[in-house]
Amino acid sequence: MASTRKSLLNTMMKHRKRLEAVPMRVQFALDPNRFRRFSASAGDILLDYSKNRIDEKAMEALFDIARAADVEGRRKAMWAGKHINVSENRAVMHMALRYQGDRPVKVDGRDVMPEVREVLAHIKLFAGQVRDGTVKGATGESFTDIVNIGIGGSDLGPAMATLALAPYTRPDLRAHYVSNVDGAHLHDTLKGLDPKRTMFIIASKTFTTDETMTNAHSARGWIARALGDAAVRDHFAAVSTNLKACDDFGIRPDRIFGFWDWVGGRYSVWSAIGLPVAIAVGFDNFAAFLKGAYEMDQHFLKTRLDRNLPVIMGMLGVWYRNAWGFATHAVLPYDQRLSRFTAYLQQQDMESNGKSVTLEGKPLAYDSGPVVWGEPGTVGQHSFYQLIHQGTSVIPCDFLIAANPHEHMPPHHDKLVANVLAQSEALMLGKTKDEVVAELKAQGLDKEQIKALTPHKLFPGNRPSNTLMYPKLTPEMLGSLVALYEHKVFVQGVVWDVDSFDQWGVELGKQLAKALLPKVQGTARNEGNDASTKGLLAHYRSLKVSE
């Protein structure tokens, strides 16, 4: 397997060497059909990948690599419920959570769809009752604020989706998200809320996650102090599989929503983890969100590789990471409501493929996942785009843009679209020395001024980007976009031969933090750690004000 992948890398390097001498602006000049040749669609999503350092031979080689790595076979294995999460010996079946068909979906020989539909029905009932005021607080008041307490996948997915779907929310029913164990996060969230009208959703599969349960107990205390301990049962719900711990906490059995070990945290927004989204936007919109993801699943499962959006995007990512050595990837949505989308994708991508060993536990002989980052346009244009355009590192980018906004505020959206198109064009074209000199001459500068300014105004260009364009950011479209990136990450994990569904890298810090807590609190002696940690602990204790 390792030798096969080394051979595949060598194939990519041959195509890189061939294409290095042919900038994209030349390729566009030579081929008026380049956009048509290198664009593809899935439903209403258009992917323009023509502004990449590729030609047909390079793309054919990338699809051959995907076949050699058995992307198609692994895709089938995932949907068949095989235990492709090898280090945890689990199936990976988040696609079942949004499945719209009527066939059985089996995990370990058992059809999981009856349970999935039962949980969805529970979500629909409860979300509807919160929204229409049937479910009330302890004093008989309807809820105006829902506070979701979770972390990682139990926070990023629903927080991202709720913000993205803000046009579908109600002003009298607000959703808030608390994840950080820093007390400031919970404090500032609760600062303007009325306990009589506030419901908490505790999202923790085991009901033991330290950050989540610390925040949960503080929230419980906030309700108990204001309304009495008996009010807790009316103000809390839970997404968990630990029924006893939920009962001990004071949560009613009919307000506990379960999910399964074949649902990874960063793939769980489609499950009961999405409960706050369903409350915020209504179950019908949550169902449309699931439907959009299902439609992308069908595209991914059934479309040939060279027209398959997740495969195209995934293989371009492999191309840049391994053949070109580009270490980061920017996701730049031109939509303010997608301001948490890139943060969500950071976990999706970096927790999945940030691995250094193969499925067999052997050290990787090549780089795996990139650093994923970004901010919404046009804000980023006035900060980090400088580095993207003229910095020494090449950063492949994804631009996302809807053709139609939710607001009727001309000319805002036209200017937004003009900016996103300009950025991808500028990255591709750059600005040559001749163009700079001609521009400066037209401004009336003399030779010495032109000579001094020209190096600063050169743009190297030939910097790759994808553009995803779609009609409007609806619940269905958001579901499709999220699923698109899920499958892209899957494709890359298969090619890199890593387990994209475990996350052991988050465990070590948790273990050490648990051991350090008594030393931080001063109930254990400051010994046994490295000199730096011991020194920092001592300095912390010297600065700490007694409570």
Catalytic site residues? 351, 382, 510
Q: How many CA atoms lie within 13 A of 41 on its CB side?
A: 9
Answer positive or negative: Cα dihedral of 440, 445, 451, 453: negative
Find tokens 């349970």 and name the residue.
Answer: 115
- Beta-bridged to residue 39, according to DSSP, are 48
CB atoms within 10 A of CB 372: 24
Q: Which residue has the tokens 């054919």?
A: 60
Residue entry with tokens 């061939």:
18
Owner of token pair 């387990």: 499
Taking the CA of residue 448 as centre, how many other CA atoms within 13 Å lie in the half-sphere pointing to its CB? Answer: 0
43 to 13, 101, 162, 298, 529: CA distances (angstroms): 34, 18, 23, 10, 56
With vertex at residue 43, the alpha carbon angle to CA 40 and CA 49, rounded to the nearest 5 degrees, is: 20
Q: Determine the Cα–Cα distance for residues 429 and 412; give it in Å rounded to an integer.
A: 26
Say which residue the tokens 């089938």 belong to.
76
DSSP string, 89-152: TB---GGGGG--SSS--EETTEE-HHHHHHHHHHHHHHHHHHHHTSSB-TTSPBP-EEEEE--T
Are residues 416 and 446 in contact, defined by beta-carbon separation less than 8 angstroms? no
Question: At residue 385, what are phi and psi to the nearest 5 degrees?
Answer: -65, -25
- How large is the greatest C-alpha to C-alpha distance in the chain, in angstroms? 82
Q: What are phi and psi of 194, to 5 degrees?
A: -100, 115
Whether residue 24 contacts residue 332, with contact meaning beta carbons closer than 8 Å, is answered with no
Measured CA to CA, the distance from residue 489 to residue 485 in angstroms comes to 6
Q: Single out the residue of 167, 119, 174 nearest to residue 287, CA to CA.
A: 119
Helical segments of 282-356, H only: 283-302, 309-318, 341-346, 352-353
